[in-house]
Amino acid sequence: MKKKGNQHVVDRRAFMKKLGMGGAFLALNLAGIAPRALASDGAAPFRLPPLPYSPRALVPYISQATMNFHYGRHHDAYVSNLNRLVRGTGFAGDSLEDIIRKTAGKKDEKALFNNAAQAWNHNFYWHSMKRGGGGRPSGRLLQMIDDSFGGWPNFKDAFSQSALTIFGSGWGWLVQEDSKLRIVQTRNAGTPLVDGLNPLLTIDVWEHAYYLDHKNMRKDYITVFMNHLVNWEFAEKNLLPV
């Protein structure tokens, strides 16, 4: 773990190598549905990754209209903009995650960071939900939630409250830092990838994620996300061994 300013910066592969499981874990990760598979696409031009379910799959909690706009217009635009911005630059050979890390916090690369991070965050978000999801996880993840937050009800309240209180546009995250879990907020295109944290789960709280279905009631959207949409199997697959 390198220290950069006040932030712990972890190179994911170096981290896994240190654990002696880099190759196996990476291969497993890239072969599965984990959105880190995005990195396996290699360099630009990036493609809009397929939705892991039909655009109707999350009805009635998230409508097909929302999916059509959110995935088909917003996410698609981030990928298109990213490809346009990368063309002819020194980032042309980089993976999506490398572009995000290299441009984070750089004033001159703000547009590139925003579009790359939004492309990554949205794919992670689609996988963070599933039809028939929600409720509480089980196994190792539930144990870690108990250890880190003092029980399921505490975690559920804290995660919901954190997502609710992000001022303006952003993302609510459950992340792993070593053997502990944490709840973090990011603003706009922010992503915990650049803070050396391992994302497990995210909720998009930009208004475009819920306005067509829930109008200004972000709280209602968070409630249905927790009760009916969270894909805990996905979150568990993202756990790194400790």
The torsion angles phi and psi of 195, rounded to 5 degrees, stand at: -105, 15
Q: Is 234 in the site for Mn ion (CB under 5 A)?
A: no
Q: Is 221 in the site for Mn ion (CB under 5 A)?
A: no
Looking at the Cβ atoms of 97 and 204, the one nearer to Mn ion is 204
- Nearest-approach distance from CB 211 to Mn ion, in angstroms: 11
Q: Alpha carbon 113 to chain centroid distance? A: 15
Q: In angstroms, rounded to a whole number, what is the distance separating the alpha carbons of residues 174 and 177?
A: 10
Binding residue for Mn ion (CB under 5 A) from 130, 204, 214, 225? 204
Q: How far is CA 52 from CA 18, 34, 101, 103, in A?
A: 32, 10, 25, 28
- Nearest-approach distance from CB 208 to Mn ion, in angstroms: 5
Token pair of 73 as six digits = 């217009």
**Residue span binding Mn ion (CB under 5 A) among the ranges 1-9, 28-36, 107-115, 202-210:** 202-210
**Residue span binding Mn ion (CB under 5 A) among the ranges 30-38, 101-109, 206-214, 222-230:** 206-214
Token pair of 127 as six digits = 């996988």
Burial class (CB in 10 A: 0-12, 13-18, 19+), 91: buried
Q: Is 206 in the site for Mn ion (CB under 5 A)?
A: yes
Interacting positions 99-158 with Mn ion (CB under 5 A): none
Kindly report the length of the chain.
Answer: 242
Closest Cα partner for 128 from 206, 232, 240, 239? 232
- Nearest-approach distance from CB 75 to Mn ion, in angstroms: 7
Looking at the Cβ atoms of 15 and 211, the one nearer to Mn ion is 211
Q: In angstroms, rounded to a whole number, what is the distance separating the alpha carbons of residues 67 and 55?
A: 6
Looking at the Cβ atoms of 181 and 189, the one nearer to Mn ion is 189
- Nearest-approach distance from CB 201 to Mn ion, in angstroms: 15
Q: Is 195 in the site for Mn ion (CB under 5 A)?
A: no
Q: Is 159 in the site for Mn ion (CB under 5 A)?
A: no
Looking at the Cβ atoms of 7 and 63, the one nearer to Mn ion is 63
- Nearest-approach distance from CB 179 to Mn ion, in angstroms: 31
Q: Indicate the residue whose CB is closest to Mn ion.
A: 204
| Count of helix runs (H) and strand runs (E) in the chain | 11, 5
The torsion angles phi and psi of 112, rounded to 5 degrees, stand at: -65, -45
The residues of the shown chain that bind Mn ion, judged by CB under 5 A, are 204, 206
